[in-house]
Amino acid sequence: MSSERRADWTGDPDPPPRGDARAAALAGYLRTLAAESEASPASLDGTGLLEAAGIAERMSPDDPRLRALSDAGHFGSTPGGRVLFLATPEVRAVVRRQLVSGHQSGVVLLARLVATATGPDEARTSLDELSWRVREAREHVQRQRQGKVGTQALFEARHGLLVALEAYVAALQRRRFPVPPLLHGELELHRKLFP
């Protein structure tokens, strides 16, 4: 597997500075892929990518998905200071697989992108660490449920749990360990929450 990263965002050279620059770079990358997919001979549906771009654009600087992507080295900057999303071949492949497999919600697509983007480096991340991330995400969901149900914070907490579950299950599968049925069921449930 190649771990080479390259800038894939070819958006507007001077986008207006709004929110987190990493969020804007990720959103720009996803929008570019959506445009390319719809212009391809196969005319793939880029709706999920556009939805994921909208979610990415609204991410706060402390969003766990942005932190995970940053920690994995998926953001770089140009000499002019513009932030770019740096995609690996594995990230590009997972996005293409989602496009070919049919419409996926932006939430699921983004969760799989984050899990894949942080996945190749998971070899050095222990299963204990990934399990801890799942437990932490579950606790975060529980804390958010004590507030007003249906809030944006609960939605984001559930999405964070989906990302943690995807990463943990992917790590188990890469190591050829069985996925416990309850864990598999929980992952499937959360995937269905974000169709």
Domain residue ranges in the chain: 17-118, 125-195
* Distance in angstroms (rounded) separating the CA atoms of residues 77 and 82: 5
Three-state SS at 1: coil
Instruction: Check if the beta carbon of residue 29 is closer than 8 Å to that of residue 88.
Output: no
Asked if the model's pLDDT at residue 11 lies above 70, the reply is: no
Residue range 35-51: average pLDDT? 72
Max mean pLDDT range (41-50, 58-67, 155-164): 58-67
Nearest to 88 by CA among 6, 157, 20, 170: 6
In tens, the pLDDT along 85-141 reads: 887 777 777 777 777 666 667 888 888 888 877 765 545 567 877 888 888 889 888
Asked if the model's pLDDT at residue 24 lies above 80, the reply is: yes
Q: 182 CB contacts (<8 Å, ≥6 apart)?
A: none
> What pLDDT sits at residue 133?
84
CB burial string 140-167: b at 16+ within 10 A, e below: bbeebeeeeeeeeebebbbbbbbbbbbb
Q: What is the DSSP string of 20-77?
A: -HHHHHHHHHHHHHHHHHHHSTT----HHHHHHHHHHHT--TT-HHHHHHHHTT-EEE
In tens, the pLDDT along 138-189 reads: 988 888 888 666 667 777 788 888 888 988 888 888 888 899 999 999 999 9
Asked if the model's pLDDT at residue 2 lies above 80, the reply is: no
**pLDDT-based confidence at residue 45 (cuts at 50, 70, 90):** low
Three-state SS at 139: helix
pTM: 0.55
Amino acid identity at 127: L
Count of C-beta atoms within a 10 Å radius of residue 184: 14
Asked if the model's pLDDT at residue 30 lies above 80, the reply is: yes
> What pLDDT sits at residue 25?
92
